[in-house]
Chains A and B, each alone.
Chain A
Amino acid sequence: MISAARRSVPSLRMRLTAYFGASTMLILSVAGTVLYANLSLGLRSEDATVIRGKAEVVRGILARYPDQPEMLEEEVVLEPAVRIIQPYFARVLDPAVGTLYETPGMSEAIPSAAFLPPPASGAADPDPTTRHTPGGRIFLVLTVRATPEREGGRTIQVALDVTRDALILARQRRLLIALILLGVAISGTAGYLTARRGLRPLARITEATQRVTAAQLDQRIGTHPWPAELAELAAVFDGMMKRLEDSFDRLSSFSANLAHELRTPLTNLRGEAEVALSRSRTEDEYREVLESALEEYDRLTRLIDRLLFLARADAGAADLERRRLSARDEMEAVRDYYASVADERGVALLCRGQADVVADPMLLRRALGNLVANALEHTPAGGEVTLSACGDSDGVRFVVADTGHGIDEADVPHVFERFYRSTDGGGTASGTGLGLPLVASIARLHGGWASLSGTPDKGTSVTLFLPRTSTGPTRDMTAL
């Protein structure tokens, strides 16, 4: 099962590795791209400043020192010839004469077609444009007007060699890619190692879990100092184990109790029959044995009836015949039945309240009857047992309260368990230890619940809640 899951879903280790790598790549790429763009823009604007500056200088000389050609020559011919960093070419054109000055080798380096025609007179200088020459070099070119058209219409052409910029940028790009790849590799490896280390407790918790078997349900894994995230899992797992263990315990004690309950009447039956047959008896003695046997059969029949009912209720298979009933009528029917017993014991049996309830009448009477029988059994003479009903929008609450000797607090959580008998030895209604579980089952069949509260020496009260609208039986196997 584990290998199948592994096949379809990548392991946590691989996932973490991938997440680390991907996030590193993302961070480095964004940072690198920003830096690269910044560098590229910076270079370009610096080049533009340089080329505009050159054009401006030439134009200035032409305008201010028209009678000093050596200045122009210095700027257009001599300086470019010796310049190593950011070499440039410049040319001054006169429409009448043609080329006035030109940096030597300019025509060979850049075809004159690469230059745009000059802008219209009076227009602002255009932006420089980039040109790739057949020789593999890259130039920034700019054509500006030196003098307006009517004053001779001279133009200046400047070309700045920016091949080096491209080289710088290319190197930058390579560096960046290398950096990203390296980063991804490092962070991926780190991610893999971290994940492996970080997930080691998971392997250990799996091992610890595997040690738990049906025979060792008392094993707990929460005792180990797990990291916070796994501590929670361990606690949840332990909680589940606790419930399982409890259910197992209850189930096995249920079976043991059941065997015991069956054994007692069988022992009586067998013993009485054997003793009776061991010698010849009078007719009355035989009759005595048979009558006693009938009582034991009754006991067995009742036990089986109750167990079957509980089993069917657990399986949700008991059929309910729900009807709209008057809670008061049902309570009074139960009171009528127990009235003689209450009277004999000197206990007042009272009914209070009224509500409409939708329930199976036989099951409701059975539940209330069990509760009243219990209450009467635990209430001394002079006491009181009260049956009351109270309805609201949720449903109807039946309370059977007595003024008996109450219940030991230690017993409260267990009273709805099958065959549970309180520590003080007091039995339930019929003494089978199935009375209250039966009430709880009937409540659940109606989608409701039952609860018990008591104060020692003050009395006990059991609440049976039946909802107005049922969403079907509530299943609760923990009551087993």
Chain B
Amino acid sequence: MWTRESEAEVHLIMMRVLVIEDESKTAAYLEQGLSEAGFVVDVARRGDEGYLRARTGAPDLVVLDITLPRRDGWQILRDLRGQGVDIPILCLTARDAVSDRVRGLDLGADDYLVKPFAFSELLARIRSLLRRGGPQVTDVLAVSDLEVDLIRRRARRAGRGLDLSPKEFSLLAFLVRRQGEVLSRAMLAAEVWGMPRGTDSNVVDVAIRRLRAKVDEPFDTHLIHTVRGVGYVLEARPERS
């Protein structure tokens, strides 16, 4: 549901993600959501258990809750990095004081998400961490009949040049680069416009609407799709009947 296989995503399939989380509902939906997104998910409900599996199970990425019984997230983070384990670690916490964030990153976390977070956001971050060091993004990206030239900052669809404003191009380029991923409004506001979290993100709807008018409306198939309550995704979907 969260993603569809596309060429750019193929290399992420069958990646192993270890989730260390004690809260049962959270653990359950993380397991389900990540499995359905194509990851092989392993869940540890206790800190000590999580630490062992992180060391011995050779996961590709660890999603680590900070408040855990037995051995808390900080401790696991310190121990794993101390043991030279350098797999990407993404921390989850309900505390978002900046000092906590800094502490997490200082201890060697690769990313940090504050609860409550959008699952789409988690997915995007996980993919971004796994892509790190992965195949280099090419200069020209294509989805269906849409071509985006990142160097010349030009976009064409069905061979016709699209007349986009600089920001519209940035938005489209971001969507294309993350094709197949559902991107939240807050994430788009932050990544494309550099606006902080908590900004009135409805503005993104207007920008997307205008982009659609140029990229989708003149053509038969639509590439930009709304995922209600979550955000937007750019992908080639099978023709609607």
Contact = CB atoms under 8 A, between A and B. Distances in A.
B229 A295 contact: yes
B229 A337 contact: no
A340 B229 contact: no
Of residues B96, B116, B196, B197, which shows the largest number of chain A Cβ atoms within 10 Å of its Cβ? B196
Nearest to B96: A308
Interface residues of A, number: 38
Contacts of B197: 305
Contacts of A232: none
Contact of A365 (B199, B203, B210, B228): B199
Contacts of A319: 97-99
Contact of A341 (B195, B196, B206): B206
A369 B204 CA distance: 13
A318 interface: yes
Interface in B82-116: 96-99, 116
Contacts of B116: 297, 300-301, 304
A295 B194 CA distance: 23
Interface in A335-383: 336-341, 344, 362-363, 365-366, 369-370, 373
A334 B197 CA distance: 13
Interface in A382-432: 429-430
A336 B193 contact: yes
B198 A366 contact: yes
B63 interface: no
A27 interface: no
Given A319-B98, A333-B193, A340 B228 contact: no
B112 to A, nearest CB: 14
Contacts of B189: 337
Nearest to A288: B228
B205 to A, nearest CB: 9
Given A292-B229, A294-B229, A294-B230, A318 B98 contact: yes
A302 interface: yes
Contacts, number: 68
Interface string B189-229: 10001111111100100110010000000000000000011
Interface string A279-321: 0000000000011111101101110111011001000011100
A451 B4 CA distance: 50
A430 B167 contact: no
A365 B12 CA distance: 35
A293 B97 contact: no
Of residues B97, B193, B195, B200, which shows the largest number of chain A Cβ atoms within 10 Å of its Cβ? B200
A365 B194 contact: yes
A370 B203 CA distance: 12
Of residues A301, A306, A363, which shows the largest number of chain B Cβ atoms within 10 Å of its Cβ? A301
B120 to A, nearest CB: 10
Nearest to A300: B116
B193 A363 contact: no
Nearest to B102: A319
A308 B194 CA distance: 22
Nearest to B208: A340
B203 A340 contact: yes
B203 A294 contact: no
Contacts of B229: 290-295, 297-298
A369 B199 contact: yes
Of residues B96, B98, B195, which shows the largest number of chain A Cβ atoms within 10 Å of its Cβ? B195
B71 to A, nearest CB: 27
9 contacts: A295-B229, A298-B229, A305-B198, A319-B97, A319-B98, A337-B189, A365-B196, A366-B199, A370-B200
In the A-B complex, the 8 residue pairs with the smallest Cβ-Cβ separation, listed nearest first, are: A294-B229, A362-B196, A291-B228, A319-B98, A291-B229, A337-B193, A340-B206, A373-B200
Given A305-B197, A309-B198, 12 more contacts: A291-B229, A297-B229, A319-B97, A334-B195, A337-B193, A337-B199, A337-B203, A340-B206, A369-B195, A370-B200, A373-B203, A429-B200
Interface of A: 290-295, 297-298, 300-302, 304-306, 308-309, 312, 317-319, 333-334, 336-341, 344, 362-363, 365-366, 369-370, 373, 429-430
